[in-house]
Structure 1
Amino acid sequence: MKGRTKRSTTQGATMRRNTERIQRASTRQMENILNKITIQTAQDLNTRKKNTPLSNLIAMTHYSRPTISLYEGIKNGSGIIAEHKRQSPSKGSFGCLVTLQEVMQGYEKAGASAISCLTDHPFFGGSLEDLIATRKQINIPVLRKDFMIDSYQIHESKAYGADAILLIAACLNNEELKSMSLEAWDIGLEILFEVHDLEELNRIKEITASFDTSKYIIGVNNRDLKRFQTDIQNSKDLLPHFPQGVLAISESGISNPEVVKELKTLGFQGFLIGENFMKAENPGTSCEQFIKSIQS
């Protein structure tokens, strides 16, 4: 009996050590993915800067276009930010056969408050051309979703038709977050600050303490950047720590209208949903059915 107990204990310890190794390897891999994305973003950005000087961006038609408020769109509409993305690092291609034009028009017709357009190409299959094409198709706010690391991208976003930009706390330090926010507001863009944990949320609270709360939104990304797994509980855990009066949205891992209803009762007003729609045969129809379900 003692022998079997000893062997069982040893096997259990071995299994735990193996599980820990797998978890550590997974964490390193996901951290590497974020690192790879930002490195690639910087490389691609340097090329774009050489090919298209800032003066060229400022001369583009959309740069002088009055923007549409993302904040007002979410506050006064369905709250759904419907996203267009062709693929993701964790899931690969979604195999959507519907054109960008059909997706965007379908989202607007469905009653989406805003559109999120992914412009990263190497990892998500998007482009700046997607952004400008989106702007031409719809009359609701457009969020440029990308990995913002340089103020050039802010002006680029305005020039290609965005109304708001994404600033990811995990990718920027406090000084960068503040300076890029001020630069975005200076040219009429609004901001979605994205956080993944309490430390990041506290950083955003610190830098936005004196900011106009109608010019920005804070979103909780339910996808853990280290494990690339989604958990709605992340939104529930962080909401009580939000600054008072700030519009809160939940991002990623949302596929059930009942989850949206629950999060609404807790205080969330916006919901960014992409994969759930993009993997459907017709994303616009999927979005329409989803919005009808949360309003019923």
Structure 2
Amino acid sequence: MSTADILRTLVAQAEAQTARRRAERPEAELEARAAAAPPPRDLFAALRAPGLSVIAEMKPRSPSKGPLTDDYRPAERARAYAAGGAAALSVLTHEEGFGGRPEHLAVARSAAPLPVLRKDFVVDEYQVLEARALGADALLLIVAALDPQRLAELLKYAEELGMQALVEVHDAEETEAALAAGAAVVGVNHRDLRDFSLDRTLSARLRGRVDGDRVLVGESGIGSGEDARALEAAGIDAVLVGELLMRSADPAATIEELRGRR
């Protein structure tokens, strides 16, 4: 597969998953569940707390690294992440590439008192509504997967449902698009989704483009407390960490290390 096709493939897989789920569960059912769901928890406020905040991610595997655990238990992992002081949870719901399921959102939210973010390739309002119906408080929107109009539409719809969005970028142009759409939480993915190459300095280089009234999150490739300290020193507000935590024998302790508490 060419590097340019990777993101398109992941989006196409998410669209196929969404089509299957829409056939099984119509929007009217989701709307009723969303209306009855508990009020959303505040992701923005959680990430604005003093010190470096950690968005702790749960996923059974990744397209680039393969299986990350032989024993994926979302509830237990959510509780361990909360015990370590995570500010929020990121839950992969993409099936083919990451082994997740949307139902894991409800499991994670019931297990820990933290904002829960739906991590997926969201391109359809159904995915936003489904996230809220399952108790998610926020969701990921990837600028590279959306044209400016769709980005603005999905962000607005999420806000109408009371949710927030982590808007992901990978360069200066995408950062400007996120800001123009009104993103309050901007995530810089150090991993280029087109070819999975990694640049841990990217969020620091884009820091000056994101004003202090917004939250800036460094994502991907954070493999140690030292990596986290470097990002904090560069003015990054939060980090999103997945693989390191999934492979850790003691994820609570690893989160404490990322936060500088060990």
- What's the TM-score, normalizing by structure 2? 0.94
| Cα contact 2:185–2:216 (8 A) shared by 1 | yes
In the alignment, structure 2 segments of 5+ residues that lack a partner are: none
Cα-to-partner distance string for 1:162-193 (whole Å, 9 max, x where unaligned): 00011000000100011111111111000100
| Equivalent residue, structure 2, for 1:117 | 91
What CA distance in whole angstroms lies between the structure 1 residues aligned with 2:54 and 2:23?
A: 37
Secondary structure of 1:143's aligned partner: strand
Secondary structure of 1:76's aligned partner: coil
Kindly report which structure 2 residues correspond to 1:170-189, keeping only aligned pairs within 5 A, or say none.
Answer: 170-189=144-163
| Cα contact 1:41–1:147 (8 A) shared by 2 | yes
In the alignment, structure 1 segments of 5+ residues that lack a partner are: 1-27
What CA distance in whole angstroms lies between the structure 2 residues aligned with 1:185 and 1:63?
A: 17
Of residues 224, 235, 259, the one that matches 2:227 is 259
Change (3 A) 1:55 1:74: same
Offset at 1:132? Answer: 1.1
Kindly report which structure 2 residues correspond to 1:224-235, keeping only aligned pairs within 5 A, or say none.
Answer: 224-235=192-203
| Cα contact 2:57–2:241 (8 A) shared by 1 | yes
Relative to structure 2, which stretch is displaced further, 277-286 or 119-128?
277-286
Of residues 19, 23, 38, the one that matches 1:50 is 23
| Cα contact 1:194–1:221 (8 A) shared by 2 | yes
Secondary structure of 1:154's aligned partner: helix
Secondary structure of 1:60's aligned partner: helix
How many residues are aligned here?
261
Change (3 A) 1:102 1:289: farther
Change (3 A) 1:200 1:242: same
Change (3 A) 1:81 1:62: farther
4+ long deviations beyond 6 Å: none
Of residues 118, 135, 138, the one that matches 1:161 is 135
Offset at 1:43? Answer: 1.5
Kindly report which structure 2 residues correspond to 1:194-205, keeping only aligned pairs within 5 A, or say none.
Answer: 194-205=168-179
Give the helix-richer structure, 1 or 2: 1
What CA distance in whole angstroms lies between the structure 2 residues aligned with 1:98 and 1:42?
A: 24
What CA distance in whole angstroms lies between the structure 2 residues aligned with 1:128 and 1:170?
A: 22
Change (3 A) 1:98 1:152: closer
Kindly report which structure 2 residues correspond to 1:14-29, keeping only aligned pairs within 5 A, or say none.
Answer: 29=2
Cα-to-partner distance string for 1:209-253 (whole Å, 9 max, x where unaligned): xxxx7xx30010000123202211111221122245211110000
| Cα contact 1:205–1:243 (8 A) shared by 2 | no
| Equivalent residue, structure 2, for 1:128 | 102
| Equivalent residue, structure 1, for 2:5 | 32
- What's the TM-score, normalizing by structure 1? 0.83
Of residues 124, 143, 150, the one that matches 2:124 is 150
* 1:218 and 2:191 are equivalent in the alignment: no
Of residues 207, 211, 236, the one that matches 1:239 is 207
